[in-house]
Structure 1
């Protein structure tokens, strides 16, 4: 696929996939080190009913209602976890598991029984997104990148994802020192006067923003994978925070690009006639990168040598 065909059919989905991967991987680095990596999984589960309710109330799939609905669902989930934990006298992890599973299942039921399934918002969309359908109809060739009229026809998900990715990167850059200190040593951060709790809440809020923005375009599978796999693989490559973030961004980008290409051409190379889900393949590639880093990464070899393996 070259020239006009690539620009029209694949450029926008590819860029959106890369932006979504980066937006999730950036906060994922800090969540991983705080042992909160599954927050991305949790967010992708609890936002679904909020997004569906927002659609039912507003009658349209738009960024602002979706963000408000997702935020409301997150608040409800926190309240439910606390109620179940206190009334049921069970550990927080069990309460979280019950709430996240129940809310995701409730969101699926709402999708199936409501008019939301009549648009591109359905169960398959919730899991896999609609990455392949985000084509640029006005992308007649590379020259369209310099044509204001053609640029106005770009999928709205691209601009939304670009803005969110920039916001996540800006948050990370501005608060880098404070986030690193609070992540590695909360006690020391408090002695420096850093607002540790506020930083933690802000980090979760930024992760939620990235997850909700990516949810519509790429689905929950990529959101979960990108929060965990690139940062975990990067941690196996270096013990420096700056290096880890750089590695994670590289792994996230590689997963998105290679996964998208393999989803479209891999089955054809193997003799099959149809492509496979881009979201599923991107998540699979990210898992493969993590497996390779676990087996052959420099930190893995160092640990093995230290243990006499």
Structure 2
């Protein structure tokens, strides 16, 4: 197969998004908060709409701030419903994200004449458009795909975030009570993580959509979780699975002439299926060897 420049751009962008989502998703999985990623990915829609109304831009710092604020608000609402109102945690997540997402849809409907924003675009995205969505300087210089730069910045920020707070994230993920007893503010760490998840999801929406973002947040880390009990190895496996999800997913979509984002999400599910089979097989071998 000959080298395709556009294919390379799509695959590398997908891989970068998979890396940033997977790194954050690892800690969501460990905290048993995987569906909060789903909640945030839907709950930020009102923030995107309101930010667009004020800034009249679909990308930029205003949209990121709007989405980040809504992501933190969603986290606070979920925490309040589950800890203060004593509503079940899964019910708290379901109520929060459906309510906020519905508000976003209503806002889009009400201001349809003022908003160049489509909920279907937010949900599904179109990673195939990356090669033609170019960053062009005022002097006419073409710098390349805009989303590729965004994805690269995301990866750098997420890596620095995890490196800076790795000890705190690790301790609060495995034992929140112990973390509190040694002076770590679990609330601040949790909000910081949710804020970073909000930023990463919204900055990835336009390229791949909420469905693939959620798949990359949850499935590669969940797959790695089945393969190892070591955190650093789990992170490494998550990154490898994310990169191969992007690579294989693109070529699956190419051969079936289908959705690239859908193919990538589907490939991630196949990796998870293989991990389930391997995990069950390994357990049977261990039980047989001890018999």
TM-score when scaled to structure 1? 0.81
Distance 2:168 2:86 in 1: 36
CA contact (8 A) 2:248 2:267 kept: yes
In structure 1, the partner of 2:27 is 30
CA displacement, residues 197-244 of structure 1 (integer Å, 9 cap, x when unaligned) = 322222222222211111221100111111111011111111111111
1:221-272 per-position Cα deviation (integer Å, ceiling 9, x unaligned): 1111111110111111111111110000000111111111211x221xxxxx
Tell me, yes or no, if structure 1 residue 224 matches structure 2 residue 209: no
Per the alignment, residue 184 of structure 2 pairs with: 194
Structure 2 CA distance for aligned equivalents of residues 244 and 78 of structure 1: 25
Is the contact made by 2:125 and 2:205 (CA closer than 8 Å) also made in structure 1?
Answer: yes
Partner of 2:163 in structure 1?
173
Q: How many aligned positions are there?
A: 286
**Residue matched to 2:16:** 19
For 1:175 and 1:79, the matched residues in 2 are separated by 21
Match of 2:125 in 1: 129
Superposed counterparts of 1:243-262, under 5 Å: 243-262=233-252
What SS does the corresponding residue of 2:228 show, helix, strand or coil?
Answer: coil
- Aligned-pair distance for 1:92? 4.5
Preserved CA contact (<8 Å) 1:21 1:222? no
d(CA) in 1 for partners of 2:266, 2:122: 18
Query: What CA distance in whole angstroms lies between the structure 2 residues aligned with 1:179 and 1:293?
Result: 25
Instruction: Choose the corresponding residue for 1:58, options 43, 55, 60.
Output: 55
Task: Show the 5 A alignment for 1:1-309.
Answer: 2-3=2-3, 6-7=4-5, 9-78=6-75, 90-112=87-109, 114-115=111-112, 119=116, 121-136=117-132, 152-263=142-253, 265-267=254-256, 275-297=257-279, 300-306=280-286
Aligned-pair CA distance for 1:181: 2.5
SS in 2 for 1:291: helix
Q: Which residue of 2 aligns with 1:270?
A: none
- Whether contact under 8 Å (1:52, 1:110) holds in the other structure is yes
In structure 2, the partner of 1:143 is: none
Alpha-carbon distance between aligned partners in 1 of 2:84 and 2:193, rounded to the nearest angstrom: 29
Partner of 2:33, secondary structure, is: coil
How far apart, CA to CA, are the structure 2 residues paired with 1:307 and 1:200? Answer: 38
Is the 1:260–1:282 contact (alpha carbons within 8 Å) kept by the matching residues of 2?
yes
**Partners of 1:81 and 1:92 within 8 A in 2:** yes
Cα gap change, 1:223/1:191 in structure 2, threshold over 3 Å: closer, same or farther? same
Range that drifts further, 53-62 or 244-253: 53-62
Corresponding residue SS for 2:131: coil
Compute the TM-score of the two structures, normalised by the length of structure 2: 0.86
Superposition RMSD in Å: 3.0
Unpaired segments ≥5 residues, structure 1: 139-148, 268-274
| CA–CA distance in structure 2, aligned partners of residues 200 and 158 of structure 1 | 28
